[in-house]
Structure 1
């Protein structure tokens, strides 16, 4: 008797009610006893020729309804693993196709052949990108010319990388593991940047980024404020995803006007909130960029260059705030959360890029007397198993 696929597991396999896993399936697909699959109502034809080889996407076989359900289920499953009840779940945000504004690609030269693209899933093998349904068109348009350029810069068996970010002024490109010496080569690099309307072109030969082309200072606008964009600075993957997270944080913070933004980065949330904001950030370049931008815009954002893993804020320091926004890296905020759980802060907006570490931290906050009011799942890495969220806690 055939079994239906009932859900998608965290790594992208379809799962039957009996717990059997089948790759590249969708909810509603039927699995026959011999393992053959009959497509169900939520399966679509993957739009990209590189799927499923390319590691940039894992779930292109799902329609939007099934992908949205997967994003919600990732958050619910993480909370259930910590024995936490599911709070109100707001409608998930799913970023549209061709909206990714940053990407890291791998490059390799094999004699006359040059490969440029994402790696294959769980592999160092490069999928030579000839189309892409997640990148912004402005970035994908650079793939072919960058393939030619990297072929000229890499040795016969060389490998490197390309990092691309869409800034206010256009594409910001960083080439990794390459070095350009001499006047002629430097002029050729500048000509390439000018011909392709790059906002900035930089090289990293292993000793840090060196800008080779930047006609005007490169910025990214956050909360209506242009802020200098340091090399390698964190930026939400899509503009639409950023807007969804900012809207959720504003809702969680509510009427609070004295707010701490922990792991503030460039100020995605600090510059989008009203009132007096303390922004704590451990990365020096990001902290300096945020401080300078806030001062120019005359925003009441006070920047503290502080490593919250080594020097988290204690209960007394946190007690003066009406709300706290916290957006830690994937590992969560294991050092800061116990102190936050013992604080008297009335409202907490927690933004996470890892449902598992979020659930761990949520349990500590709930054990400390907080209530998890709601969560909003966010799928800005479209067709990927990478899920983000925003959540509201109160006491």
Structure 2
């Protein structure tokens, strides 16, 4: 390890400041373009020791856990960046990914999300000699930073921290780290523990007693098994009440979800027959069913069952049919796609490569693609463009506040 003084030239895709060194780029966390910093250099990564020139784009972080001089949480990487350059950074993540695939000039301004909107958080937890440790991992480590505040999280999650800690402690066995996904629902907090060893009867009773004594907890599950459910967790997908399975995927903020839905619903319009791929528990399918018949396809059975049940129990929807299908291994074929006027797809980070190849050869008039990964979105859009589709717009949506992740909605048509 050596000490160097460097000047930061740009911000990298992972939020690090990048300086040019004799051996190549040097990545410096918490440093901004234009800053001159003394760093402790370890390989091609530097840790700031002191700053002699400070960027005008530097902002005061909101959270005490962001402080790199203390035991910093790794949940946020860009709290020190002012809002205008921060939004430009998020937009550029999408712009640069598209440019790499020869797609230019289609990216709209970023749809911003305010602080305190995250209704879903994944905590790390571990029992120690001093008690339960509950929080988020320090950047690029397995070290858990105990959380006392979080400006990103919703008020419901923050006010529920005592109950969350109590439940996590009742689940903990030994010193092994486990994950606790917390989702704020309309009826209370839904807590899904993963990575736990099987609980014995004594532990199960302890969890149940803890939940019944706590306030605001709707359900607790361990490794997918429901342990106690005082109230059925409910979420609102465009006016339709859905009870998702434990740990089910959900957009990180309701505001971002609504923005995505508004974009794709406006694009699909009054299409009579709509296909929703990677449908989950019905985030978009149930909204789409207000105006057209929807066929929802999802690879996991439990979310699909929740979607189906919600559709059956809601008046005023057009027909909703469901299909369990692995779209990575068995995408809908061009022949199967013929019956649809519009297609919506929202795949995992890996994108929808196999399915998009079939879509590119189809005659579907309108497509809406939702993605949390600009790189795979760009790849999939390139395939659709080569197949004859035109991209009308790509809208970045910043629901992953102060991180290097960004959601995007792309709208295409023939």
Asked if TM exceeds 0.5, the reply is: yes
Hey, what does 1:319 align to over in structure 2? 338
Counterparts in 2 of 1:219-368, with a 5 A limit?
A: 219-273=234-288, 274-298=291-315, 299=317, 300-368=319-387
Hey, what does 1:165 align to over in structure 2? 183
- Inter-CA distance 342–193: structure 2 relative to 1 (3 Å threshold): same
Q: Deviations over 1:283-304 (max 9, x none)?
A: 1011111111111114222212
- Conservation of the 8 A alpha-carbon contact between 2:160 and 2:216: no
- Higher mean C-alpha displacement, 166-175 vs 354-363: 166-175
Hey, what does 1:211 align to over in structure 2? 226
- Higher mean C-alpha displacement, 310-319 vs 327-336: 310-319
Separation (CA, whole Å) in 1 of partners of 2:221 and 2:401: 28
* SS of corresponding position for 2:127: strand
- Inter-CA distance 125–4: structure 2 relative to 1 (3 Å threshold): closer
- Conservation of the 8 A alpha-carbon contact between 1:108 and 1:158: yes
Q: Which runs of 5+ in 2 are unaligned?
A: 40-49
Deviation for aligned residue 1:212: 2.7
Counterparts in 2 of 1:60-71, with a 5 A limit?
A: 60-71=79-90
- Conservation of the 8 A alpha-carbon contact between 1:153 and 1:179: no
Hey, what does 2:58 align to over in structure 1? 43
Q: Deviations over 1:259-282 (max 9, x none)?
A: 111111111111112211111111
- TM-score, normalised to structure 1's length? 0.90
Question: CA RMSD, aligned part only?
Answer: 2.5
Separation (CA, whole Å) in 1 of partners of 2:57 and 2:295: 45
- TM-score, normalised to structure 2's length? 0.86
Matched, 1:24 2:26: no
- Conservation of the 8 A alpha-carbon contact between 1:105 and 1:161: yes
Hey, what does 1:81 align to over in structure 2? 100
Deviation for aligned residue 1:373: 1.3
- Higher mean C-alpha displacement, 51-60 vs 278-287: 51-60
* SS of corresponding position for 1:118: strand
- Inter-CA distance 257–158: structure 2 relative to 1 (3 Å threshold): same
Deviation for aligned residue 1:60: 0.5
- Inter-CA distance 239–196: structure 2 relative to 1 (3 Å threshold): same
- Conservation of the 8 A alpha-carbon contact between 1:178 and 1:203: no
Matched, 1:133 2:138: no
- Of the three residues 362, 367, 376, the one matched with 2:395 is 376
Q: Which runs of 5+ in 1 are unaligned?
A: none
- Of the three residues 9, 13, 17, the one matched with 1:10 is 13
- Conservation of the 8 A alpha-carbon contact between 1:30 and 1:37: yes
* SS of corresponding position for 2:56: coil
Hey, what does 2:44 align to over in structure 1? none
Q: Deviations over 1:323-369 (max 9, x none)?
A: 11111110001110111000111111000010000001111111111
Deviation for aligned residue 1:307: 1.5
- Inter-CA distance 5–305: structure 2 relative to 1 (3 Å threshold): same
- Inter-CA distance 331–182: structure 2 relative to 1 (3 Å threshold): closer
Separation (CA, whole Å) in 1 of partners of 2:327 and 2:249: 17
Deviation for aligned residue 1:3: 9.8
Separation (CA, whole Å) in 1 of partners of 2:294 and 2:168: 43
Hey, what does 1:110 align to over in structure 2? 128
Deviation for aligned residue 1:92: 1.1
- Inter-CA distance 252–103: structure 2 relative to 1 (3 Å threshold): same
- Higher mean C-alpha displacement, 226-235 vs 251-260: 251-260
Separation (CA, whole Å) in 2 of partners of 1:112 and 1:156: 13
Separation (CA, whole Å) in 1 of partners of 2:237 and 2:12: 34
- Conservation of the 8 A alpha-carbon contact between 2:170 and 2:210: no
Q: Deviations over 1:32-78 (max 9, x none)?
A: 79984533332111111111421211110112212211111000010
- Conservation of the 8 A alpha-carbon contact between 2:189 and 2:219: yes
- Give the aligned length: 388
- Inter-CA distance 153–341: structure 2 relative to 1 (3 Å threshold): closer
Deviation for aligned residue 1:255: 3.6
Separation (CA, whole Å) in 1 of partners of 2:217 and 2:263: 33
* SS of corresponding position for 1:378: strand
Deviation for aligned residue 1:258: 1.7
- Higher mean C-alpha displacement, 261-270 vs 12-21: 12-21
- Conservation of the 8 A alpha-carbon contact between 1:100 and 1:237: yes
